[in-house]
Amino acid sequence: MHEILAYKSPSLLADIPSHYCPGCHHGTIHKLVAQCLQELELGDDTICVGSIGCSVFIYNYILLDTVEAPHGRAPAVATGVKRSRPDKFVFTYQGDGDLASIGLAEIMHAANRGEKISVVFVNNTVYGMTGGQMAPTTMIGQKTTTCPGGRCSDREGLPMKMAEIMAGLGGVSYSARVAVNNIKNFKKAKKTLKQVFEIQKSGKGFGFIEFLASCPTNWKMTSTDANDRLKKEMIPFFPLGVFKDLQGESK
Amino acid sequence: MARIFIKGNVAIARGALDAGCKCYFGYPITPQNDIPEFMSRAMPEAGGEFVQAESEVAAANMLLGAAACGIRAMTSSSSPGMSLKQEAISYMAGSELPGVIVNMNRGGPGLGDIGPSQGDYFQAVKGGGHGDYRTLVLAPGTVQEAYDLTFLAFELAFAYRNPVLILGDAIIGQMQEPITPSKPLAVDPFEGGSWRLEGARQREARILKSLHLTDGALAGHNLKLQEKYKRAEKEVRFEEFMTDDASLIIVAYGSIGRIVKSTIRKLRKEGYKAGLIRPVTLYPFPSQILKSLAEQGKKFLTIEHNMGQMVEDVRLSICGLAHSAFHGQLPGNLPTPNDFEQPIINALRS
Ligand SMILES: Cc1ncc(C[n+]2csc(CCOP(=O)(O)OP(=O)(O)O)c2C)c(N)n1
Ligand code: SF4
Ligand SMILES: [Mg+2]
């Protein structure tokens, strides 16, 4: 009997136990980021801008030169990095509280300026790290620790659709929403992420990718139920797809 | 170098340019707008980058990003904007990132006014943001000094891997004086070869961060920072003026230090024996000289354009060894040499 190598972990990914909860999509998304960077041979020239949320330890998992940005400010930090080193590949990795709430001004303006960076946005509809409070992306009716009766549009407004908002800004070259809840979506997500990275690699400007992600712990669900919820509740409201692709249009 | 006649704000911008600054990030606020306006032309011409940020919050975080690449970068603002920069400054101190931050202090609290004030002394010198950190603080008293201290600010920022503040005010920023510029420095465009980020080619990945969660890690990190601040004490700088035979030592910094100097010159002609210590570094503070003057039996008078901030550091320095009076000029009032005559005479008589 001989063995066939079916899967090899990207060498950019550290071989260590994960601190993420079982079923959390952060780990899956980290793997995708590492795979895409590696396949595009970008690892040696990449500067990662981390953010504040459950992914604050991204540098422990993806072995890249990394700077920690204050909560919400990663797009401003990435602007400083990219303007200093236009020859380097620069991306931010941000949660929904980080990007769509406290950091809304920074993401809107970095995008509108068309900074030549890539943004990996992880929307799990809650503030994961601080214990499951309401986020700007929390769904109507969803219960969190700070909207215990469920989010109500009269009181808290509607969830923000960042991928669509980004697509409406002049400086944005590419904006898409993906999910990693099943193999089919995972494969599509990888293709899309690669496209986002390629936009920057070819000097084409700002690329944005929103990942719908699960947070089984704060959703108080098993991993499989969380994947189910993502499919049944999140995707109908946050549709998957490409909302802007200037590169594709010019082809 | 030929002498040039320029405003204090422009002297700082020009100083930064000549000291090798390659990135400037700012947001408009009076009375420092000459700095971003100068930089918007100068940076691109020097092959660098100018960004008018969406806010002071963003500008300070852009500085953080540029600093992480080991590039000479600067931001400037005035009081309300400085409040917004504090989180990033704290992260920079925690992550040991070098950068220059200019505050042309205006009147406060709140929106205050756009006139001169020294109301931000505590914010500048005692940390400003959260956590147990220090920034080095340089306080120019002339336009020439504003230019020269900008060179020093970059040098210190990289020597100590720490944010350095230049604390001026609306007087220093708006005043025009002749200065002699220095030869522009030929600096390595990317310093910090052992720590800067550039992609982890053929080496272990580098991480610039302020988070330390494992047992004892934060204590160890804070100890390292404190040792650095101790090392930086040797950077203390001050101007000493007619102190030898003085029975009263006036302590005043920045524009007020300079105005007080004029008052002392006038009073000396009338036989009043007053001298001046003008701290040029507010952190580290010139404690040793003040203490040794106190030990010689001299009295002290601190004069500030606020209602009493630096005076606390003067009193800590002289540890009760001498009589220490205070005169505060209310922010919102423009000071002149005449304002300080009577307070100095009173302190001499007390
Ligand atoms: C200025 C500031 N405010 C608040 C916090 C506390 N905080 C840490 S993480 C976080 C929310 C993170 O949520 P999200 O961005 O959605 O990331 P997730 O953990 O869900 O991946 C908050 C509010 C902070 N660190 N800094
Ligand atoms: S709290 Fe949620 S986002 Fe954070 S690690 Fe756990 S599952 Fe992931
Ligand atoms: Mg979240």
Q: What is the pLDDT of residues A1-28, one digit of tens each?
A: 688 888 888 999 999 999 999 999 999 9
Which protein residues have a CB closer than 5 Å to ligand 3 (ion)?
A 95-96, 124, 128
Count, residues in chain B? 350
Mean pLDDT value across chain B: 97
Q: How many angstroms is it from A98 CA to the middle of ligand 2? A: 14
Question: Dihedral of the CA atoms B268, B273, B274, B276 (nearest 10)?
Answer: 90
Q: How many angstroms is it from B91 CA to the middle of ligand 1? A: 15
Q: Are B300 and B324 in contact (CB under 8 A)?
A: yes
Closest by alpha carbon to B66, among A85, A201, A110?
A: A85
Atom 2 of ligand 2, residue of closest alpha carbon: A215
Q: What is the pLDDT of residue B268?
A: 98
3-state secondary structure A68-89: ECCCCCHHHHHHHHHHHCCCCE
Residue in chain A lying closest to B210 (CA):
A68
Beta-strand (E) ranges in chain A? 46-50, 65-68, 89-95, 118-123, 126-127, 133-134, 172-179, 206-212, 241-245
Instruction: Write out pLDDT tens, residues A214-251.
Output: 999 999 999 999 999 999 999 999 999 999 999 877 55
Chain B: give the shortest CA distance to residue A39, in Å: 16
Pocket-forming residues, ligand 1, beta carbon under 6 Å: A 52-55, 71, 95-98, 122, 124, 126-130, 135
Chain A: give the shortest CA distance to residue B268, in Å: 52
The per-residue pLDDT string of chain B (350 residues; one tens digit each, 9 = 90 and over) reads 799 999 999 999 999 999 999 999 999 999 999 999 999 999 999 999 999 999 999 999 999 999 999 999 999 999 999 999 999 999 999 999 999 999 999 999 999 999 999 999 999 999 899 999 999 999 999 999 999 999 999 999 999 999 999 999 999 999 999 999 999 999 888 889 999 999 998 899 999 999 999 999 999 999 999 999 999 999 999 999 999 999 999 999 999 999 999 999 999 999 999 999 999 999 999 999 999 999 999 999 999 999 999 999 999 999 999 999 999 999 888 899 999 999 999 999 98
Q: What is the pLDDT of residue B201?
A: 87
Rounded Cα gap, residues B228 and B161, in angstroms: 9
Across the interface, of A46, A56, A77, the residue whose CB is closest to B65 is A77
Predicted ipTM beyond 0.90: yes
Report phi then psi at A215, rounded to 5. Answer: -135, 75
Q: How many angstroms is it from A244 CA to the middle of ligand 1? A: 28
Identify the DSSP state of B181.
P
DSSP B76-116: EE-HHHHHHHHHHHHHHHHHT--EEEEEEEB--STT--SSB
Residues with Cβ < 8 Å from A236, sequence gap 6 or more?
none
Q: Name chain A contacts of B211, Cβ cutoff 8 Å.
A: 56, 68
Q: Which ligand is nearest to the CA of A131?
A: 2
Atom 9 of ligand 1, residue of closest alpha carbon: A53
Instruction: Write out pLDDT tens, residues B185-218.
Output: 998 888 899 999 999 988 999 999 999 999 999 9
Q: Are A78 and A65 in contact (CB under 8 A)?
A: no
Cβ neighbours, 10 Å, residue B33: 16
- The pTM assigned to this predicted structure is 0.97
> Domain B237-349 carries which CATH code?
3.40.50.920
Rounded Cα gap, residues B266 and B269, in angstroms: 5
CATH topology of domain B4-190+223-234: Rossmann fold (3.40.50)
Mean predicted confidence (pLDDT) in A184-212: 97
Give domain limits for chain B.
Answer: 4-190+223-234, 237-349
Ligand 2 near A126 CB (within 6 A): no
| Cβ neighbourhood burial of B339 (10 Å; 0-12, 13-18, 19+) | middle
Chain A: give the shortest CA distance to residue B87, in Å: 8
Residue in chain B lying closest to A68 (CA):
B209
> CATH class for domain A43-250?
alpha beta
Letter for the amino acid at B167? L
Rounded Cα gap, residues B336 and B332, in angstroms: 13
Q: Are A65 and B200 in contact (CB under 8 A)?
A: yes
Q: What is the pLDDT of residue B328?
A: 97
Chain A: give the shortest CA distance to residue B122, in Å: 23
| Cβ neighbourhood burial of B38 (10 Å; 0-12, 13-18, 19+) | buried
Q: How many angstroms is it from A163 CA to the middle of ligand 1? A: 20
Whether residues A59 and B65 touch (CB distance < 8 A) is answered with no
